[in-house]
Amino acid sequence: MLAPAGQQQGDVAPDFPPDWEDDERMTFLFSAFKENREVNTTDWDGKMNFWVPLVIGSCRKRGAVSFNLQDLNESFRRKGSMPLGLGTVIQCMARCGKVQKESEFAANVDSGWLSWGVGLLLVRPLKWTLSTLLGNSRVPLEESFVVIELVKEKAAELMRVYRSSPVADRSLLSFQELRALSAHVCPDETTLCLALIQLQREKQVTVLLHEGEKIVKFSQLDQGRVSPISDMDVGIYQLQCSEKLLGDRVEALGLEAERCREEARKLLQEGKKSQALRCLKGRKRVEKRAERLYGQLETVKGILDRIAHSQTDRLVMQAYQAGVAALRLSLKDVTVERAESLVDQIQELCDTQDEVNQTLAGAALNSSGGESDELEEELKSLLEESTPDGVRMLPEVPSRPLPAGRALGVHGDSFLDSLPPVPASTFGITDEELDRELSHLTLTDTGMVQAHTLSDRRPEAAQ
């Protein structure tokens, strides 16, 4: 989309809504607001809902956190016309807390040099105050307003940039270092100062003007809020600046020594030996100066290392002190005598429990002797109940041996005579049937008599 007329080449054009191409709709939106919202609430709110997001979106796209009426009029110029109600939009946004005058925003905190870094002129707020008292509520064209939503976003982004930078271990930075570090986040110095003011409101940043130099101190990860800049902070900052300065000078002297060496080689190739010797002498002087500065640089680094170690030791000591205090509190009512007494009591209780268990176990064994006879009788009765009636009525197994000299497996009357007498049975079986069944008896090779029993039918008891 082309930039509106009046916008300079290179400026970022805002993202206009689809209504921007509707002439009839835009004629209504470009018209002035009614003096009283109650006259037509729908028209008033419709215009406000169109312009407020557009103003905020325009600033966000430009990477800015503030604006003035003159810039808005030029940004939203359309076909030679400028919106007539933007002053009312700004006033409504100020009443709702969406924007705040830049002077008030900076004056709400003790921002030090930041108040002057945003380029404020106290005459503008004074003019607006006088005009308001006199009944003129028009917004000055050059009065700057801060979008609260955007400045909070910018402050959080600036903090993330610092945390992820190589200098995150340094709590103090010069304003110029911070400006170079955040160039891709804050497009201009005013935006950076406003973001720092917001961080100062959040107790994450404090500023100081030391010997004409602007210094910014950030809170560290282990701190909930930033601490005031102390003399030790300033001393560490000066040592860090000295370290950087000495390092730059040593590097520059190294380059100069190398340049003298190359020049001496070139002069020697041209046959200018005396000039080459002068270059080598100059190189030696540069190297001696670089060595001296390098020694000073190592001394400064050693001091910074000792300071870092001392701060670490201090944190460790604080942790030890907190641990000792917590341990003392947790052992407040604990003594060695009480611990020994508790152990003795526990041992006594364990011994008592063992004695009780042994006593109960002995009683159980003694009581089982009287019950064993009853259990035997109960088992005997169970066996008798489980035995079939027919088996109980059979005769006892004969115990006298067979007659000697009689070969096994021979059938005859003498063998029958050796069998016990047939019991008087109540079974309904005749003697002839028994004789037929006995004829089937055979003797096995092992001497055991194996009977081919009657058919599987069971004899029925006589009725």
Q: With the C-alpha atoms ordered 63, 69, 70, 73, is the resulting torsion angle positive or negative?
A: positive
Give tens-digit pLDDT for 95-128.
Answer: 999 999 988 888 777 666 776 555 544 334 444 4
- pLDDT category at 422 given cuts 50, 70, 90 is low
Q: Which residues pair with 34 in a beta bridge?
A: none
* Low-confidence winner among 28-32, 71-75, 174-178, 424-428 (lowest mean pLDDT): 424-428
Could you count the other beta carbons within 10 Å of the beta carbon of residue 137? Answer: 11
The rounded distance, in Å, linking the Cα atoms of 377 and 171 is 96
- Residue whose C-alpha is closest to residue 60's, from 14, 104, 3, 118: 14
Q: What's the average model confidence in pLDDT over 200-208?
A: 89
Q: What's the average model confidence in pLDDT over 292-319?
A: 78
- pLDDT category at 264 given cuts 50, 70, 90 is confident
Span between the terminal Cα atoms of the chain, in Å: 122
SS (H, E, C) the chain: CCCCCCCCCCCCCCCCCHHHHCHHHHHHHHCCCCCCHHHCHHHHHHHHHHHHHHHHHHHHHHCCCEEEHHHHHHHCCECCECCCCHHHHHHHHHHCCCEEEHHHHHHCCCCCCHHHHCCCCCHHHHHHHHHHHCCCCCCCCCCEEEEHHHHHHHHHHHHHHHHCCCCCCCCEEEHHHHHHHCCCCCCCHHHHHHHHHHHHHCCCEEEEEECCEEEEEECCCCCCCCCCCCHHHHHHHHHHHHHHHHHHHHHHHHHHHHHHHHHHHHHHHCCCHHHHHHHHHHHHHHHHHHHHHHHHHHHHHHHHHHHHHHHHHHHHHHHHHHHHHHHHHHCCCCCHHHHHHHHHHHHHHHHHHHHHHHHHHHHHHHHHHHHHHHHHHHHHHHHHHHCCHHHHCCCCCCCCCCCCCCCCCCCCHHHHHHCCCCCCCCECCCHHHHHHHHCCCEECCCCCEECCCCCCCCCCECC
High-pLDDT (> 90) share of the chain, %: 15
The most confident of the ranges 12-26, 56-70, 130-144, 348-362 is 56-70
The rounded distance, in Å, linking the Cα atoms of 7 and 82 is 12
pLDDT tops 80 at residue 248: yes
pLDDT tops 80 at residue 410: no
pLDDT tops 60 at residue 11: no
CATH dotted code for 100-227: 1.10.10
- pLDDT category at 158 given cuts 50, 70, 90 is very high
pLDDT score, position 14: 61
pLDDT tops 90 at residue 237: no
* Low-confidence winner among 210-214, 235-239, 404-408, 436-440 (lowest mean pLDDT): 404-408
> Read out DSSP for 386-413?
HS-HHHHTSPPPP-SPPPTTPPTT--SH
Q: What's the average model confidence in pLDDT over 394-412?
A: 55
Taking the domains of the chain in order of start, what are their residue ranges? 1-96, 100-227, 233-308
- pLDDT category at 421 given cuts 50, 70, 90 is low
Q: What's the average model confidence in pLDDT over 270-289?
A: 86
pTM score of the predicted model: 0.57
pLDDT score, position 190: 87
Q: Which residues pair with 427 in a beta bridge?
A: 461
The rounded distance, in Å, linking the Cα atoms of 81 and 28 is 12
- pLDDT category at 8 given cuts 50, 70, 90 is very low
Contact partners, residue 100, CB within 8 Å, separation at least 6: 94, 145, 146, 148
pLDDT score, position 159: 93
Q: Where are the alpha helices (DSSP H) in 31-122?
A: 41-62, 69-75, 86-95, 102-107, 114-117
- Torsion angle of alpha carbons 396, 402, 403, 408, nearest 10°? 140
- Mean pLDDT of the chain, nearest integer: 76
CA 172 to chain centroid, in Å, comes to 29
